[in-house]
Amino acid sequence: MSETVTFKLNGKDVSVPKGWTVMKAAAKEGVEIPHFCYHEGLSIAGVCRFCMVKVEGRPKLEIACNLQATEGMVVSTTEDEVKEAHKWALEFHLINHPLDCPICDQAGECSLQDYYMSVGKYESEMTRPKVLKPKALDVGDQLVLDTERCILCSRCVRFEEEITKTDALGIFNRGDRATIGTYPDKRLEHNYQTNLVDICPVGAFTSKDFRFKQRVWFLKDKKAICPGCSTGCEVDVYGKPEDSHYYRIKPRHSEVNGHWMCDKGRYYYDHMNPVGRLRKAISGIEGSRKFVDTDEAIADLARKISNSSVSDMALLVSPQYTNEEYAALLEFFVTQMGVKNVYQWREPTESTEDFDGILYRGDHNANTAGLAAALKAVGLENNIENQFDDLAKSGAKLVVALAPELSSTYPSLKEQINKLEELPFVSMWTIDGKVFEYPGINHAIPMKGFAEKKGSFIGHSGVRKLEQPFPAGNEHARDLVETVEALTKVMAHL
Amino acid sequence: MTHEKIILATEGKENQRSIDTYLANGGYTAIKKAAKMDRKAIIDLVKASGLRGRGGAGFPTGLKWSFVPPDDGKPKYLICNNDESEPGTFKDRHISSVNPHMIIEGMLIGGYTVGAEKGYIYSRWEFQLEIGYLEQAIKEAYEAGFLGQNIFGSGINFELDHYSGAGAYICGEETGLISSLEGKKGQPKLKPPFPALEGYLRRPTVVNNTETFCNIPHIITHGAEVFRRYGTEKSPGTKLFSISGALNRPGVYEVPLGYSLKKLIEEDCGGLKDGKKIKAVVPGGMSAPLLMPAQVETATLDYECMQEMGSMLGSGAIMIIDDQQDVVDLLRITTDFFAHESCGQCTPCREGTGWLKNLVNGILEGTEGPAAVDRIYQVADHMEGRTICALSDAAAWPAKSYVKNFGEEIKAYIEKKGNRA
Amino acid sequence: MAGVIKVASPPEDNNLFQKGYGYISTISQGMWKTWSIFWEQITGKEKTNTLEWPEAPANYSDRFKGKHFLTRRPDGQVRCTACFLCATHCPADCIHIEAGQHPTNEIEKYPVRFEIDILRCVFCGFCEEACPVDAIRLGPEYAMTGNYGEKWVYTKDYLADRTQLQGGITSVKDEQEKHPTTDHHPNGEEKIKALARHMQH
């Protein structure tokens, strides 16, 4: 049985398990204690001296992040002394901070800006020249480091020590010459670099990929699940719906992924952007292929299906769609129409048992388990191995192929699709605009991206839900549920 | 005026440093007595003696030793803080070159009492000569069987090593010292947890000043009452004062606590030379607030009096500022030093010391007006009490003291320089 | 006689002659007015409000908000750091900026594209107020003409470098750094006066 302690926070009684700090208790109660160096996912440093609180009976202010709550303690965050401490803590942080707001990507989500507006708003007394340090350094494939903006909170150093255990960052020199940096001629080499951008409270670490692309106050964010591997980290996708453009992905805290995500997943917004995306359906039934509206393509396909026999038809499914989509698809093709030839499309070079020890798994599909369950539910054998080659040799006359949403997770994709050239009719449902280049593909329906769908995956640790879709990137994109619904409608009239 | 020398007992003797001299002077008998005593009894004895840490903080030694938890089968450590970086202090250097064996004996007793079987003497790197003396003394002690396993058959194990710093004032702070000893950057650690519970390598560690250890053999041998013969009720014992300035006889003096400051200056040190007069006195190292001449008249060298007068006894480094010295230059030395030595971990100190240095240098360059004087006070005021260690306070106190006592003089300097406001 | 309100007698229906007279009378009054003013103005008795521009100068105040221009740094590059504040504050949503990495580290961020859709612009001047470095200003030029079908989007080159700007106007921020003690910035003021004068030709 763990004990609880009860103490007073701003006059209100708060009960927390023994061992909790006042900072953690305040976060639970929704009382804001401003801080820089404290981070829930990292050890306590206590170096920013910003989270000061007044404890009755103690002469000096205490930092809340290292203050264990004890029975009967009386803590206040609203005393004048505390407010004065906040102002001066900000003053000390800002006196050598460069005036980079116009060129700094962190503007709009910067702790210094936010806290100045909420607890600062003082007139600065500093008139002396500022300390200058190296700026815009390339320290990793995903990172740009600006040491002048750094407020030496040491979150990045602790991240390197505790999470990735790579110890690639340190604070060199002392006093106000202290500078964050990597060891001579060493760069960051691991797959979790962009988390440093997330935890850095200011614009010292910025993302190379996102650099200067957009101001964050123009972006809207919605919750999603990273589709890159079977871990299924919870993420926020940031985009500008009015332009149908996505800009970045950031992790969201959850039990599955803690506060982090890997760098691979950071790029899985780009395939949903207009450039490179399949914007219209393709239909080649009347002869040469051309771009058509999705409804027309679906009608063409429906006709083709109704003119074929069930034994000549085949389904090729990749494990990157949602459970709901599989249910609809298999209900239509297998249960209602009786198609028996359902093949799984996987990458032949994959090693699904790989795990890097932190988050990234070797199964680069979001819903392997979900597809297996869906197939089992309709009485089809689950075979996790790549069945692509079997399909290519099968001689099926009409194939509906559901391409992987993330072409980059299937390095052999091009090779595989070219094998389909032999088959007389292949309809590929995909988001990738490159599909037009493959001669073997006669018909294509543009798909929605994962951030535009509502649904669920079954990841390594259970159900992962997509709950906040963006509006579809273009009017012709569909998900499987909608496509099957439309097909059903058209076929009902044939 | 001659005083009884307890800590500096071997001073001036032939081969003052050697173990033979020490033994001839009654050395290494206290440890033999302590070895037969109960650990708790020793702690009680040290508590009763009222010995306070001589490094600067003045924390009761017996109390510090009592915080160490009982044995849990894992190692504990005892560290002698011989870093002595407080400007103006040179007493530990003196002890290291005059009576190094007393340190070793004090550590032996301390180690036995708290259950530490490994000790380190951490000296500042600049003690090139003294490091040699200490290492020689350690070697002699090992050879004579006073260090190592089962020393003189008592069952006590104590291994002692010397470790030198690399030129950082911050390593005189106990957790900064521990970080440095662990091979890391000498940055102080958050307290809590306190070193007595989690120190070196996260094990219970006791860190005491060199001079503090030197008092221990005397207390064990002669008892608390004899120890209390000198000194005051709350500040018992003798203390080494390193006194410097334009004096006839500056140096290290061992006097009882509570001794008159005026007497020390005029009688023991022979007063100021060349007809100079006292402008101010720094009683406890550069970070101590100044004592003005009126206070010097009645000041006694003990913790309470110094605190009442708004200053601190600190490390006992007394610096005499005479009337021919430039106050602005002294302020510059102070702010430059702390800006150079700040470890940079926590923001008020890192930025504040830099800002103070910047302001004072601005005054010297002629780019700051009289408002800078009040600015210095304001910045220093907000650096106090907000940081992991006391360096920020140590930087703030002298700055505030100079502005408070010599504010007008600094403003006159600014005006004379013709700065723009 | 409570409850009875006397009303004016309803208008009688005018007969044809009365109606005709009404029309002719008002029309001739109106025409008399028109021709008499015309006569007075033609003979110079009354001053017209018409400004015979471009022969006569059109003098707007110094605060007039006309065509935008982007200011320059002392070395000739655009002052704009692509911070997007002007685009954020624009109520007409007419500023489109694309930021890019500048080859030199001193500048770091600069606008690769800076476009103002001048047909959407309402000349409110918010962009000028929002800019933290005086990179964009609304100048004295008011003649913006063009043909249907032309692109009415002012690009960065046009905004910073058109001939009328005579090589570009240095931003106040850079001038302040060069002359910190005065509010008088000769380079910019001269050129803006020249721009205003240019409107007179």
CATH code where residue B44 lies: 3.40.50.11540
Closest partner residue to B350 among A52, A68, A178, by Cβ? A178
Per the CB < 8 Å rule, is A136 touching C85? no
Question: Can you give the pLDDT at residue A359?
Answer: 95
C-alpha torsion angle, residues B312, B315, B316, B320 (rounded to 10): -80
Cα–Cα distance for residue pair B399/B377, rounded to 1 Å: 7
A242 touches chain C (CB under 8 A): no
Cα–Cα distance for residue pair B163/B135, rounded to 1 Å: 10
Write out pLDDT tens, residues A220-275.
Answer: 999 999 999 999 999 999 999 999 999 999 999 999 999 999 999 999 999 999 99
Per the CB < 8 Å rule, is A175 touching B362? no
C-alpha torsion angle, residues B139, B143, B147, B148 (rounded to 10): 110
ipTM of the complex: 0.90
Q: Per DSSP, which regions of A64-136 are E strands?
A: 74-76
- Sign of torsion, CA B123 B128 B130 B133? positive
A206 and A331 in a single domain? The answer is no
Which range has the worst mean pLDDT, A151-160, B365-374, C82-91? Answer: B365-374
A256 and A292 in a single domain? The answer is no
Q: Cα distance from A153 to chain C (closest Cα, Å)?
A: 25
Interchain contact A/C (3 or more Cβ pairs less than 8 Å): yes
Query: For the domain that residue B374 is a member of, what is the CATH number?
Result: 1.20.1440.230
Domain end, chosen from A63, A94, A125, is at A94
A68 and A120 in a single domain? The answer is no
Cβ proximity of A494 and A470 under 8 Å: no
Cβ proximity of A210 and A247 under 8 Å: yes
Cβ proximity of A166 and A188 under 8 Å: yes
Cα–Cα distance for residue pair B207/B247, rounded to 1 Å: 34
B164 and B89 in a single domain? The answer is yes
Cα–Cα distance for residue pair A343/A237, rounded to 1 Å: 31
A261 and A288 in a single domain? The answer is no
Do the domain assignments include residue B13? no
Question: Can you give the pLDDT at residue A187?
Answer: 93
B31 and B133 in a single domain? The answer is yes
Question: Can you give the pLDDT at residue C10?
Answer: 64
B60 and B121 in a single domain? The answer is yes
**Best interface-test mutation with A: which of C80, C83, C134, C177 has the largest number of A CBs within 10 A?**
C83
Question: Can you give the pLDDT at residue C12?
Answer: 67
Q: Which residues face A291 on adjacent strands?
A: A282
Residues of B in contact with A125 (CB under 8 A): 375, 378-379
* Count of the separate structural domains present in chain A: 3
Write out pLDDT tens, residues B123-158.
Answer: 999 999 999 999 999 999 999 999 999 998 888 999
Per-residue pLDDT in tens (0 to 9) along chain B, 421 residues: 678 888 888 888 888 999 999 999 888 999 999 999 999 999 999 999 999 999 888 999 999 999 999 888 889 999 999 999 999 999 999 999 999 999 999 999 999 999 999 999 999 999 999 999 999 999 999 999 999 999 988 889 999 999 999 999 999 999 999 999 999 999 999 988 999 999 999 999 999 999 999 999 999 999 999 999 999 999 999 999 999 999 999 999 999 999 999 999 999 999 999 999 999 999 999 999 999 999 999 999 999 999 999 999 999 999 999 999 999 999 999 999 999 999 999 999 999 999 999 999 999 998 888 999 999 999 999 999 999 999 999 999 999 999 999 999 999 999 988 755 4
Query: For the domain that residue B279 is a member of, what is the CATH number?
Result: 3.10.20.600
Report angle CA A242, A243, A248 to the nearest 5 degrees.
105
Averaged pLDDT for residues A103-111: 95
Domain end, chosen from A94, A117, A147, is at A94
B77 and B23 in a single domain? The answer is yes
A312 and A454 in a single domain? The answer is yes
Do the domain assignments include residue B376? yes
Give which of C130, C142, C141, C139 is closest to C90, Cα–Cα: C130
B37 and B177 in a single domain? The answer is yes
Which range has the worst mean pLDDT, A72-86, A243-257, A426-440? Answer: A426-440
Query: For the domain that residue A307 is a member of, what is the CATH number?
Result: 3.40.50.740
Domain end, chosen from A79, A94, A109, is at A94
* Count of alpha carbons within 13 angstroms of residue A22, beta-carbon side: 30
Write out pLDDT tens, residues A301-357.
Answer: 999 999 999 999 999 999 999 999 999 999 999 999 999 889 999 998 989 899 999
Q: Which residues face A204 on adjacent strands?
A: none
Residues of A in contact with B353 (CB under 8 A): 175-176
The set of residues, in sequence order, having a beta carbon less than 8 Å from that of A407 and lying 6+ positions away, is: A271, A413, A432, A434
What residue spans of A307-348 are helical by DSSP H? 323-330
pLDDT-derived band of residue A118, with 50, 70 and 90 as boundaries? very high
Number of Cβ atoms within 10 Å of the Cβ of C179 = 12
Q: Could you identify the residue written with the tokens 């980079």?
A: A100
Residues of A in contact with C84 (CB under 8 A): 215, 218
A72 φ/ψ sector (left φ>0, alpha ψ -120 to 50, else beta): left
B317 and B332 in a single domain? The answer is no
B359 and B251 in a single domain? The answer is no
Tell the burial category of C198 from Cβ atoms under 10 Å away from its Cβ (0-12, 13-18, 19+).
middle
For residue A411, say if its preceding peptide bond is cis, omega within 30 degrees of 0.
Answer: no
Query: For the domain that residue A121 is a member of, what is the CATH number?
Result: 3.30.70.20
A459 and A418 in a single domain? The answer is yes
Closest partner residue to A128 among B192, B340, B358, by Cβ? B358
A161 and A250 in a single domain? The answer is yes
Cα–Cα distance for residue pair A100/A110, rounded to 1 Å: 12
Give which of C102, B273, C74, B221 is closest to A103, Cα–Cα: C102
B123 and B159 in a single domain? The answer is yes
Cβ proximity of A26 and A33 under 8 Å: yes
Cα–Cα distance for residue pair A148/A130, rounded to 1 Å: 10
C82 touches chain A (CB under 8 A): yes
B209 and B74 in a single domain? The answer is yes
Instruction: Domain of residue B362: give its range.
Output: 327-417
Q: Cα distance from A239 to chain C (closest Cα, Å)?
A: 16
B195 and B217 in a single domain? The answer is yes
- Rounded to the nearest 5°, which phi and psi values hold at B376? -60, -45
Cα–Cα distance for residue pair A366/A359, rounded to 1 Å: 13
Q: Which residues face A21 on adjacent strands?
A: A68
Domain end, chosen from B160, B194, B227, is at B227
Residues of C in contact with A136 (CB under 8 A): 105, 108
pLDDT-derived band of residue C201, with 50, 70 and 90 as boundaries? low
Is residue A137 pLDDT above 80, yes or no?
yes
Question: Can you give the pLDDT at residue A286?
Answer: 57
Domain end, chosen from B260, B291, B322, is at B322
The set of residues, in sequence order, having a beta carbon less than 8 Å from that of B115 and lying 6+ positions away, is: B39, B68, B70, B71, B76
User: Residue type for A181, please?
Assistant: G
A220 and A300 in a single domain? The answer is no
pTM equals 0.90
For residue B193, say if its preceding peptide bond is cis, omega within 30 degrees of 0.
Answer: yes
Which range has the worst mean pLDDT, A154-158, A302-306, B297-301, C13-17? Answer: C13-17
Interchain contact A/B (3 or more Cβ pairs less than 8 Å): yes
Which range has the worst mean pLDDT, A325-334, A376-385, A402-411? Answer: A376-385
Instruction: Domain of residue A125: give its range.
Output: 101-272
Question: Can you give the pLDDT at residue A432?
Answer: 92
pLDDT-derived band of residue A126, with 50, 70 and 90 as boundaries? confident
Give the rounded distance of the alpha carbon of A199 from its chain centre: 15
Cα–Cα distance for residue pair B44/B35, rounded to 1 Å: 15
Give the rounded distance of the alpha carbon of B63 from its chain centre: 18
Give which of C181, C196, C173, C143 is closest to C71, Cα–Cα: C173
The set of residues, in sequence order, having a beta carbon less than 8 Å from that of B372 and lying 6+ positions away, is: B359, B362, B363, B414
The set of residues, in sequence order, having a beta carbon less than 8 Å from that of B282 and lying 6+ positions away, is: B88, B288, B290, B291, B317, B318, B319, B321, B398
pLDDT-derived band of residue C180, with 50, 70 and 90 as boundaries? low
Cβ proximity of A348 and A375 under 8 Å: no
A84 and A162 in a single domain? The answer is no
The pair of three-digit structure tokens given for residue C173, joined into one six-digit string: 């921020």
Give which of A384, A421, A367, A383 is closest to A399, Cα–Cα: A421
* Count of the separate structural domains present in chain B: 3
Could you tell me the maximum CA-CA distance found in chain B, to the nearest angstrom? Answer: 75
B324 φ/ψ sector (left φ>0, alpha ψ -120 to 50, else beta): alpha
B261 and B216 in a single domain? The answer is no
A144 and A12 in a single domain? The answer is no
A130 and A161 in a single domain? The answer is yes
Give the rounded distance of the alpha carbon of A240 from its chain centre: 16
DSSP code, position B108: H
Question: Can you give the pLDDT at residue B421?
Answer: 47
User: Residue type for A281, please?
Assistant: A
Q: Cα distance from B21 to chain A (closest Cα, Å)?
A: 43
Question: Can you give the pLDDT at residue A384?
Answer: 64
Tell the burial category of B77 from Cβ atoms under 10 Å away from its Cβ (0-12, 13-18, 19+).
buried
Report angle CA A13, A19, A22 to the nearest 5 degrees.
45
pLDDT-derived band of residue C33, with 50, 70 and 90 as boundaries? very high
Closest partner residue to C108 among A101, A103, A217, by Cβ? A103
Is residue A293 pLDDT above 90, yes or no?
yes
Q: Cα distance from B376 to chain A (closest Cα, Å)?
A: 11
Per the CB < 8 Å rule, is C81 touching A101? no
A412 and A378 in a single domain? The answer is yes
Query: For the domain that residue A26 is a member of, what is the CATH number?
Result: 3.10.20.740
